[in-house]
Amino acid sequence: MTIQFKNETFRDDFTFSNSPEAIRRFPFPFDKDQYMYAVNIEQHMPGPAKSATEFPIDIDEHYVSEMRDRALVLKADPLRCQSLPHMITAEWDLVELLMESMAKHYPEHFTLTRDGDRWHWINRPLEIDQTFTFGDAATLPCPPMEYVTRQCQGDFCLLDQRNDNLWMDAGIVTTQADWSLDFDMGMNFMEWHGPVPLAHDMGVFDRALKFLLNLQQGRPVRRLNWTMTVNPRLDTSPENYHKWGIDRTTVTPENVGNKVHLRVELQALWRLPRSNAIVFSIRCYLIKMEELVTIPKWGRRLHRVLRDLPPELVDYKGLTRFRDTTVDYLARHDDGAPTSPGFFPD
Amino acid sequence: MSGGVEIPVRVVAIEQATPTVKRFSLAARDGAPLPLYSAGAHVVVAMDAADRRIKNPYSLIDRSPDGSTYRIGVLRTQQSRGGSAFMHEQVAVGSELTITMPVNLFPLNRTGRKHLLIAGGIGVTPIYAMAEELARQSVAYEIHYAMRDSAHGAFADELVARHGDRVRLYRDDCQEVIAVDRILPNQPLGTHLYVCGPEGMINAILAGGRAAGWPEENLHAERFLAPPGGSPFALRLAKAGITTEVRADQSLLEAIEAAGVDAAFLCRGGACGQCETRVVSADGELVHNDHFLSDDEKASGAKIMTCVSRLKGRELVLDL
């Protein structure tokens, strides 16, 4: 399966769009007509063919352009990629996880050859051919986590496990929904989830932490999270709020279908073998409202979810200024018919 | 499957390390390399005895450089419910067993500036692996290893050969004890201590650490418990609608599994919390043997860790 990589932008002229195939494989996050927090964690098992969860690491038509956008973010702000010294073993674990998975599932694009510690990595879409010694950072052009994640879609955080908690001690974060790695570095699981409303009282984080502390090697898990973004901008960071915050005031009934995007994060967690750390991947998918309503079930359902969303969540997700306009747009695509259970298109 | 991915293995070598300890080398039956793991990890070994399936956790000593084998060390215990006796008497080269993926509940703290590794008896197995990893990473460490006598020092020679003067040995028969009040003061700030061994030794070392003013989060212990036996009792699984018996030599979790219910577990040593189960009713006294539930939770009688705890009484009803 050869992917046709698109040439598009996630800033300035915003030429990003989804092909019809990319729309059909979009990881729509609502399996019913309303939304509330849940510890919606499931095994990260292979999903249906061609879906976003068919393989553990999903590479799609936006790969080359997303990697170009990541390079621009890192050039402007190197602190988007940080790692504390004790995370070096976890960095190498991540190199192995990503290279093995990409080479296995996309052999026409990536090749990994291992001869003991001598590794040979070929990335055809990005025209990279690298021989290096696994475990010896001096043999790569940049530190191992940065090296491999400049070549893999999704943000990645490496969580150290100690004292019955998880600590955000390394990561690369350039496609985030308004949170900052630089701010969260060194915090533990309870600290970095501090700002989330409602969920603490529901005990969501206590249960999630307990679950993750026992996450097993060979048994990765995943969950979906979502928000909405005006313009297809990957880097909606607090650091750049002055650039994108004002976008929220630009939505009109005329442009809402093109400007407003559902932003879904496919979050996955793996226990890493050598380091006992956990890698937390946050893969961002964007879809325009006018693309989303081409799947009738999704148009109906998103209308109902947005219309009935609790006010705390509307504010927390930053939807306040454009929610009503979006609901009005989606109402035109909701004939009131019942929707089938589950995420997938009918 | 509720304990995770399982790996079918074959015993490829057995070594009588001491009069009471055997070391087993295990290889995957399909010949594939065994998974990498971090020092301090254990696997749960499933043994098919004549009348039942026994599952015990054992720390991983090492993985051969080519990844083909793991080594575990098994002490023949006096009060064995059958697991260690089975390993010592029934298992031979060629025997087939099943292990879980490695799980680490006794990890090195990677932010530590120095590491004090303290082992007693068979508790040396995870300590051995930790020392190897620290040596590989060129991090400062010391090893203190207490044994009954020279014949019972299952790993003494290997430790000294590999770690030289970083190892200090203590022999009970020479009245040598680990002088915790001399070792702990004057360690560099940021030192972490890890102890694995008999319960009394762990308690003494940890008490020494606290007395020396060490922060609680710098003191680490692995207290794997072999599930103790007890009197038999009736067990009802409310959701499954199953009634069965927990035998004297069976753990509660083993009885649940024998009844065909796929209950969650991870360490099978009372440490991880994965098998926490709600108690519907108990006609008798709950005997909590785990290190996971708080004293208040134990007193409330609302939950039980099925891997090591049981009932002293007539019937236990669980929300399973």
The pLDDT of residue B3: 64
Q: B5 at the A interface (CB within 8 A)? A: yes
Is the confidence at residue B183, as pLDDT, over 50?
yes
What CATH number corresponds to the domain at position B178? Answer: 3.40.50.80
Q: Are residues B141 and B121 in the same domain?
A: yes
* B253 lies in the same domain as B217: no
B109 falls within a domain: no
CA-closest candidate to residue B147, choices B204, B80, B76, B198: B198
Domains contained in chain B, number: 3
Mean pLDDT (chain B, rounded)? 91
Domain tally, chain A: 1
Residue A234 C-alpha, separation from nearest chain B C-alpha, in angstroms: 33
CA distance A103 to A290: 34
Of the listed A68, A114, A223, A321, which one is catalytic? A223
Q: Which residue has the higher pLDDT, B255 or B267?
A: B255
pLDDT at B2: 62
Of B38, B101, B273, the CB nearest to A276: B38
Q: Going by C-beta distance under 8 Å and a sequence separation of 6 or more, which residues neighbour residue A204?
A: A37, A38, A39
B118 with B215, same domain: the answer is yes
Same domain, B178 and B274: no
Residue B107 lies in a domain: no
**pLDDT score of B78:** 75
Domain boundary among B38, B67, B100: B100
Q: Of B65, B100, B135, which residue sits at a domain end?
A: B100
Q: Are residues B132 and B95 in the same domain?
A: no
Pairing outcome for strands A260-271 and A278-288: antiparallel
Asked whether residue A92 is domain-assigned, the answer is yes
**Could you list the pLDDT tens digit for every one of the 346 residues in chain A?**
689 999 999 999 999 999 999 999 999 999 999 997 776 788 899 999 999 999 999 999 999 999 999 999 999 999 999 999 999 999 999 999 999 999 999 999 999 999 999 999 999 999 999 999 999 999 999 999 999 999 999 999 999 999 999 999 999 999 999 899 999 999 999 999 887 777 777 777 888 888 899 898 998 999 999 999 999 999 999 999 999 999 999 999 999 999 999 999 999 999 999 999 999 999 999 999 999 999 999 999 999 999 999 998 899 888 999 999 999 999 999 999 999 998 888 8
Rounded Cα gap, residues A86 and A102, in angstroms: 26
* Mean pLDDT lowest among A42-56, A199-213, B145-159, B269-283: A199-213
**Which percentage of chain B shows pLDDT scores above 70?**
98
Question: What residues make up the domain containing B142?
Answer: 114-222
Domain CATH for B276: 3.10.20.30
B105 in a structural domain: no
Any bridge partners for residue B276, and if so which?
A: B305
pLDDT surpasses 80 at B195: yes
**What pLDDT does residue B224 have?**
66
Give me Rg for the CA atoms of chain A: 20
Which of B5, B40, B272 faces A218 most closely, judged by CB atoms? B5
Residue range(s) defining the domain that contains residue A160: 20-331
Q: What residues 219-238 of chain B have any CB closer than 8 A to a CB of chain A?
A: none
Rounded Cα gap, residues A254 and A257, in angstroms: 8
Among A117-131, A153-167, B144-158, B164-178, the minimum mean pLDDT is found in B144-158
Alpha-carbon distance of A246 to B257, in angstroms, equals: 59
User: Distance between CA B303 and CA B297 in Å, rounded?
Assistant: 7
**Residue type present at position A316:** Y
Question: What pLDDT shows up at residue A268?
Answer: 97
CA-closest candidate to residue A128, choices A104, A152, A145, A96: A152
Are residues A219 and B5, on separate chains, in Cβ contact within 8 Å?
yes
Taking residues B179-206, report their average pLDDT: 91
Whether B139 and B48 share a structural domain: no
Q: Is B282 part of any domain?
A: yes
* Catalytic-residue membership of A223: yes
The residues, ordered by sequence, that sit 6+ positions from B164 with a Cβ below 8 Å of its Cβ are none
Alpha carbon A86 to its chain centroid, in Å, reads 25
Q: Are residues B197 and B137 in the same domain?
A: yes
Whether residue B233 has pLDDT greater than 90: yes
C-alpha to C-alpha distance for A259 and A273, rounded to whole angstroms: 42
Q: Is the predicted pLDDT of residue B1 greater than 60, yes or no?
A: no
Residues in B closer than 8 angstroms to A214, CB to CB, are 103, 266, 272-274
Average pLDDT over residues B269-294: 90
